[in-house]
Amino acid sequence: MLQSSGEIKMSQINTELGRSSTATISLDDAENGTYATINTASSSYPNASNPAAMSEWYSYDHSAASGYEGRISGRAESASNEACEGLEVETTVYKNGTSSTPAIGDQLFTNTGLTTDLIPGDGFGAWYKYEDVDGGNVPYAVYLLEGSNGECYIESVSAC
């Protein structure tokens, strides 16, 4: 991640983008994603508008987590089959984990940076319908619990 203030060097931008620090670089091309796609999951990232400015790179984190996009119901049910049959997905959420498919232990967030924990509409300890958007809108029932630090995590998963 690049620093939030002070001087940023072109070599640092190269390195952040996964390139050699000595590679030839154009600030405009870097901002336009010519060398690497700009990670919009970073809390701060350069825009493609001109003129290009070094200050746009403050706090840019090329490896910021983006998670997997899904949708979840606003209401809950007491059983997985009831969640699958009776609920509609309406709220966009993001999850961590190693694939787009929901798995036990995955956490749910309201933002792509995976920093704001989801607070489910009907609370924790219930079944919600979850749709795996990145996986082709496949529906699941997920049982959500609250962790010790307020995080929202999946305790159980059932395919619909």
* One domain for residues 44 and 85: no
pLDDT above 90 for 97: no
Task: Residue 94: name the closest of 43, 138, 146, 152 by CA.
Answer: 152
Which of these three, 64, 99, 114, is where a domain ends? 64
Which one of 12, 33, 64 terminates a domain? 64
The answer to which of 40-49, 83-92, 148-157 has the lowest mean pLDDT is 40-49
Q: Which residues, in sequence order, are bridge partners of residue 143?
A: 127, 156
Do both 57 and 77 map to the same domain?
no
Looking at the fold, whether 81 and 60 belong to one and the same domain comes out as no
| Gap between the Cα atoms of 111 and 100, Å rounded | 15
Question: For the segment 53-67, what is each residue's pLDDT rounded down to a tens digit?
Answer: 999 999 998 887 678
Domain extent, residue 7, equals 1-64
Looking at the structure, tell me whether residues 92 and 152 fall in a common domain. Answer: yes
**pLDDT for 101 beyond 80:** yes
Q: What value does the mean pLDDT take over residues 140-150?
A: 96
The total of structural domains in the chain comes to: 2
Residues 48 and 120 in one domain: no
pLDDT for residue 81 is more than 90: yes
- Amino acid 137: pLDDT: 92
